[in-house]
Amino acid sequence: MAEQLRDELDAFAVEHGYSGRSEVIREACQSLLAEYQETDYEGQQVLATVTAVFGYDKPKTERRMMDIRHEFEASIRSNSHNCLDGNTGCVETFVVEAAYDDVLRFIGTVRGADEPVSVEYTVVPVDVVSTGVSESDTF
C-alpha cells in the first residue's frame, strides 16, 4: 500500500471516529463485497456507464486504460477521454453493454488499473432500457 494512501486512511479514521486504519479497511471491504453480492441483474444483459478519474501525470494509468479498451472492445459501446481544467486530472468514461457478470469483471479491471484511480458506475438492465422503466443501481 502506498504511503500516501496509508496516511489518508489514518487521517480519515481520526476524522470520522474510527479506531484505526484496520477498521476503515474492514468496513470498505465489507461494502465492496456487498456491492458484488448477487442482485436481480444476475444472468441479465446490462448497460453500464463507468467513470474513472485519475491524475494527469499518470501515463502508466492512461496506458492501462487503453489496454482495457482493447481487452473489452466487444462490450464497450462508447469511450471518451477528457482532461480536467488546468491538467489536474483525466476522466475516462465507458459505456459497456454485456452480461452482468462481465460488467462486474470490467469494473474490477478498471478499479485495479492503478491505486489512485477513482471509479463510479451505474448499471441498468437492457430490458429496462427498452421498456422505458427507470430503475438503476448507482455506486
Note the pLDDT of residue 51. 94
**pTM, two decimal places:** 0.68
Mean per-residue pLDDT, 85-113: 90
Q: What is the mean pLDDT of the chain?
A: 84
Mean per-residue pLDDT, 111-119: 80
CATH number corresponding to 45-128: 3.30.70.1150
73: pLDDT strictly greater than 90: yes
Note the pLDDT of residue 18. 81
Q: For the CA atoms of 37, 39, 45, 46, what is the dihedral angle to 10 degrees? A: -80
Domain boundaries, the chain: 3-36, 45-128
Q: Tens of pLDDT along 10-67? A: 988 888 888 888 988 888 887 777 666 656 788 889 999 999 998 887 788 888 889 9
Note the pLDDT of residue 1. 79
Percentage above 90 pLDDT, the chain: 33
User: How far apart, in whole angstroms, are the C-alpha atoms of residue 112 and residue 115?
Assistant: 7
Question: Starting at the edge strand that comes first in sequence, how are the strands of the sheet with 90-99 ordered?
Answer: 76-83, 90-99, 45-54, 118-125, 137-138
Which is nearest to 104 in space by CA: 63, 135, 62, 137? 137
The alpha carbon dihedral of 60, 77, 73, 42 has a sign of positive
- Cell numbers that stand for 16 in this block: 470520522
